[in-house]
Amino acid sequence: MLKYILKRVILAVVTIWGVATITFFLMNMVPGGPFVAEKSISVQAQNALNEKYGLDKPLFEQYITYLKDASHFDFGGSLKQRGRTVTSIIVSKFPVSAKVGGLSILVSLLIGIPLGCIAAVRRGKFLDHFISIFATCGIAVPSFVICTVLMYLLGSKLELLPTFGLTSWKHYFMPVISLSFYPTAYIMRLMRSSMLDVLGQDYIRTARAKGLPVYVCLFKHALRNAVLSVITYLGPMMAFTMTGSFIVEKIFTLPGLGGAFVSSILNRDYTLIMGTTIFLASFLVIMNMLVDIIYQFVDPRIKLS
């Protein structure tokens, strides 16, 4: 186990370094700069700012300097949000995205897994068709459409929930529902497909032939193997959901990390782009590594090597 984790940590460092390198050079290949669009300051002032932040130096020298600082977890200050460091921005934004994303994952698992199991057990029946149609709609309909419908029905017409901000528990309902719609539908389809495969295995047929009730076969023997496909999806889902959705955060005016990431790209805030990219890549790598370790606890037959 320790050898495997050490190997994955080394691979994770190489992956994050590759992502940081590609992002750094692609970002600098785009014409313009962070201070070019600011018409309120003179050319002399722009040159002074470039000199202050080291943007006047050769690109490779900037790259080496950035890597040295980043290796000490120093991602520099934001070029646009004066007086704030990249680390402080990430620390202030991430909890908002993590709360909404974490609740969305919880809702997706609590709804998606049982409904996927029911669809598999009731294959070809009304419930199976109903769940399959719901899952297809959940995957096909974009999140901004769901956000708009929820805001119109629950916020504007019925006036049950607030439509912007995040100051009370009521504010979480619509963002969580919007963000969990796609993962719930995807988990339903994964779970249905996986459960159908497991229910067709010989050991399940043997258990049924011995007279075991359906629910015992389902929960005691089939569920553990069927849920492996959902666990595979959990890694990237947690990374993408908990680090913020720009569309959902923008529509509901949430001060999360997704909005900060897109704003940094639009504003050409180089240091914030690099900081958030490295953070997102690190989070994704860590989540995937944790999922691989969880595999062994769910199914001991799987060897980490």
Domains and CATH numbers, the chain: 98-256 (1.10.3720.10)
pTM of the model: 0.82
- Please check the confidence at residue 9 and state whether its pLDDT lies above 90: no
Rounded to an integer, what distance in angstroms lies between the CA atom of residue 240 and that of residue 289? 15
Helices (H) and strands (E) in the chain, counts: 14, 0
Segment 217-274, tens digit of pLDDT: 888 788 888 888 888 888 778 877 877 678 888 888 888 888 888 888 888 888 999 9
Q: Are 49 and 249 in contact (CB under 8 A)?
A: no
- Please check the confidence at residue 276 and state whether its pLDDT lies above 60: yes
Q: Are 166 and 254 in contact (CB under 8 A)?
A: yes
Letter for the amino acid at 281? A
Rounded to an integer, what distance in angstroms lies between the CA atom of residue 288 and that of residue 172? 27
pLDDT at 260: 85
Residue 273: closest CA among 23, 13, 95: 23
20 CB burial (10 A radius; 0-12, 13-18, 19+): buried
Cα three-residue angle 188-230-99, rounded to 5 degrees: 90
Segment 46-76, tens digit of pLDDT: 778 778 887 888 889 999 999 998 888 888 8
pLDDT at 171: 87
